[in-house]
Structure 1
Amino acid sequence: MTLSLMTSMALFAFAASFSPGPVNLVSVSNGARYGLGKGLSFITGATLGFILLFFVIGFGLHHVLAALPLLTQVLQWLGIAFLLYLSYQLFSDNGELSDNSEAKAPNFITGALMQWLNPKAWLASLSGIAVYIPQAHTDQLLIFAGLYLPICWLSLAAWLWAGIVLRHYLQSPARMRMLNKTLALLLAASCILILL
C-alpha cells in the first residue's frame, strides 16, 4: 500500500470523524455536562464501536447489504429512532451540572452502541471501504482501521474538549438547558439530513 493511498485514507478518516454528526454532538454535551472522566469513557466506547463496525463491514457485511437493500433501510430507521431518543433525552435534561451523576451520563456502552445505530458511521464505513479497499483484504483493512482508530478518537476528543471548555461558561442550569436543547435540535436535524 502506497504512502499516498494511506494519506488519502487518513484524510478521509479525519473528514468523516471530525465533521459534525450525532456522536460529535453527544461528545460536546457529555463534556459540558459530565466532564472529562465520563466523556473519555463515552468517546473510547464510540471509537472502539466504530472500529468493530468497520471490521464487520469490511469482512463481508457490505456484500450482504448490497444484496439486501431492505436491510439497509431497516438499519437506517433503527438508527434514526435511537438518535431521536437520545435527542429527546438531551432536550429534556434539567441542566444540573454534576460530576457524580451516574444515572444519565452516556458511557462506554452508549458510545459503542451509538456507532452501530448511527447512519453516519455506516456510511463512513461503507463508502471508505468501497472507495479505498473494495476487495477489503485483511492487511488493507487492518491498515485502514489502524489509521482510523486514533483519528476517530482524537476527533471525538476535540469535540469533548469543546464541551469541557463550554462547561466553564455554562455554570447555571438555565444555560446548560439552553446548550442541551440546542444540541438536541441539531441531533434531530442530523437525522432529517440523513433521510434527504
Structure 2
Amino acid sequence: MTSILPLLLFVAVATLTPGGATTLATASGARFGFTRSIPLMLGIAIGLGLLGGVAALGLGRLLLAIPALQTAAKALGSAYLLWLAWRIARSGPPNAGEGPARPITLVNGFLLLWLNPKGWAMTIGAAASFGMLATNPNKLALLLAAAFGVAACASLTLWCSLGVLIARFFSTPRHWRILNLAMGVLLAASIVPTWR
C-alpha cells in the first residue's frame, strides 16, 4: 500500500476550501450558534463520508459514463443550493422572524450534501485519483469514507466557529442583512465551478 499522505492533503484542501457546505456552516453558526449547528455539520460530514465510499464503489464511474445523468445530478443540486442561497440572502437578524426559524437538521444536512455538486466532484475525483491506495473497492470505500468524514467534521467546525465569531460583531438588523446577503451570494457562487 502506498502512502495515504497525498489523499489526506487532497481531502483537507477540498473540504477546507469555500463551497456550499462551508458557507452553510458559517451562516448557521452566525445565525444559530455552534451547538444548534451540530446536526447540520454532522449530516454534511456523514453525507460526504458516505458519498466518498459510494464513489469508490463505482457510482462515480457510472456518472462519468453517463453524462446526462451527471448533468441531471448537477442541475438538481444547483437548483437546491440556489433555493437555499435565496432563503439565506433574504433572511434578517436571528430573532426577526425572517428566514429559517430553525437550524438545518442532520437529515437535511445529509441530503444537502448529496445534492451538492462540489461534493460529487471531490469524491469522484478522489476515487479516480487514489484508487491505487487500496487492494479492492471495498477498502478504498472505507478509506475515502473515513478521510472525507473526518476532514469534513474538522473543516465544518472551523467554518461554523467563524460564523459564531462573526455574529459577535453584528448588532443591528442592517449588519445581519449584509451578512446574510453575502452568505447567500457566496453560496450561489459556489455552484459556478461545478459547471466549468
Q: 3-state SS of the aligned residue for 1:10?
A: helix
Equivalent of residue 6 in structure 2, options 5, 8, 12: 8
* RMSD of equivalent CA atoms: 1.9
After the TM superposition, which parts of structure 1 deviate over 3 Å for at least 4 consecutive aligned residues?
101-104
| AA partner of residue 20 (structure 2) | P
Identity of aligned residues (%): 28
- In structure 2, what is the equivalent of residue 141 of structure 1? 141
Query: What does 1:180-191 correspond to in 2, within 5 Å?
Result: 180-191=180-191
Q: Distance in 1 between matches of 2:100 and 2:190?
A: 27
Normalised by the length of structure 1, the TM-score is 0.91
Displacement of 1:42 in angstroms is: 0.7
TM-fit CA distance, 1:191: 1.8
1:176 corresponds to which residue?
176
Paired position in structure 2 for 1:115 = 113
Correspondence 1:16-165 to 2 at 5 A? 16-97=14-95, 103-133=101-131, 137-165=137-165
Q: Specify the SS of the correspondent of 1:123.
A: helix
Amino acid at match of 1:83: L
Cα distance change on mapping 1:121 and 1:167 into 2, 3 Å: same
Structure 2 CA distance for partners of 1:10 and 1:187, relative to 1, 3 Å = same
C-alpha displacement of 1:102: 7.7
Distance in 2, matches of 1:188 and 1:147, equals 27
Alignment coverage as a number of residue pairs: 192
Kept in 2, the 8 Å contact 1:34–1:97? The answer is no
Contiguous gaps of at least 5 residues in structure 1:
none
Contact 2:91-2:100 within 8 A present in 1 as well: no
Q: Distance in 1 between matches of 2:119 and 2:100?
A: 27
CA distance in structure 2 between the aligned counterparts of 1:40 and 1:96, rounded to whole angstroms: 17
In structure 2, how many angstroms separate the alpha carbons of the residues matched to 1:151 and 1:191?
21
What is the CA distance between 1:132 and its match in structure 2? 0.3
Under a length normalisation based on structure 2, what TM-score does the superposition of the two structures give?
Answer: 0.91
SS in 1 for 2:76: helix
